[in-house]
């Protein structure tokens, strides 16, 4: 498992890069509803419909929540995009015993009210119109 890092220079640069890309490609990003308490950690569970997903979460965090962002990514992909690790991305190795370590790491992160954790339980890109949604199984097959 690769734990998240928040490099003093790279983390803000990656957040700003994502924010700029979102403003270039999208006219508006909006959130409806209210949050009961901003003094608690946030767990964001989202469907995985495109490579923009993490940028959406990061943009909402930058605009509304101001938390320290962590996002779970498949270890193989994180190794191919190592710079993302310095932007708060941590890994999960599917179908291994290491999955439990990644989930426990998420729980530890959520004990700090300054943190936000993003998870994509589908495990791969799928249309948001696909029904029923597919979720990855754990290594035990349950």
pLDDT in tens, 104-139: 999 999 999 999 999 988 665 455 556 665 566 665
Q: What is the pLDDT of residue 113?
A: 96
Q: What is the pLDDT of residue 69?
A: 95
Q: Classify strands 68-74 and 89-92 as parallel, antiparallel or unpaired.
A: parallel
pLDDT at 2 over 80: yes
Q: Cβ neighbours of residue 13 under 8 Å, at least 6 residues apart?
A: none
Q: Quick check: pTM over 0.85?
A: no
Q: What is the pLDDT of residue 25?
A: 87
Location of structure tokens 């959520």: 110
Cis? peptide before 50, omega within 30° of 0: no
Per-residue confidence band for 90, with pLDDT thresholds at 50, 70 and 90: very high
Which residues on neighbouring strands pair with residue 118, listed in sequence order?
44, 71
From first CA to last CA, the distance across the chain in angstroms is 21
Per-residue confidence band for 53, with pLDDT thresholds at 50, 70 and 90: confident
pLDDT at 35 over 60: yes
Domain ranges of the chain: 10-26+41-119
Asked whether 88 and 11 are in contact (CB, 8 A), the reply is yes
Q: What is the pLDDT of residue 60?
A: 84
Q: What is the pLDDT of residue 140?
A: 53
Q: What is the pLDDT of residue 137?
A: 64
Per-residue confidence band for 141, with pLDDT thresholds at 50, 70 and 90: low
Could you give the CA distance from residue 124 to residue 49 in angstroms, rounded to a whole number? 8
Q: What is the pLDDT of residue 8?
A: 94
State phi, psi for 43 to the nearest 5 degrees. Answer: -115, 120
């Amino acid at each position: 498992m690769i734990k998240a890092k928040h490099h003093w220079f790279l983390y803000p640069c990656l957040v700003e890069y994502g924010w700029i890309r979102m403003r270039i490609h999208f006219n508006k990003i909006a959130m409806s509803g209210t949050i009961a308490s901003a003094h608690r950690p946030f767990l964001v569970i989202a469907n995985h419909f495109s490579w923009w997903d993490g940028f959406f979460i990061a943009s909402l965090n930058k605009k509304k929540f101001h938390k320290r962002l962590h996002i779970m990514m498949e270890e193989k992909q994180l190794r191919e995009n190592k710079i993302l690790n310095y932007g708060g991305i941590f890994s999960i190795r599917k179908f291994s015993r290491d999955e439990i370590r990644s989930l426990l790491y998420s729980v530890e992160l959520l004990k700090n009210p300054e943190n936000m954790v993003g998870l994509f339980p589908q495990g791969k890109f799928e249309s948001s119109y696909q029904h029923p949604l597919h979720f990855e199984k754990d290594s035990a097959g349950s």
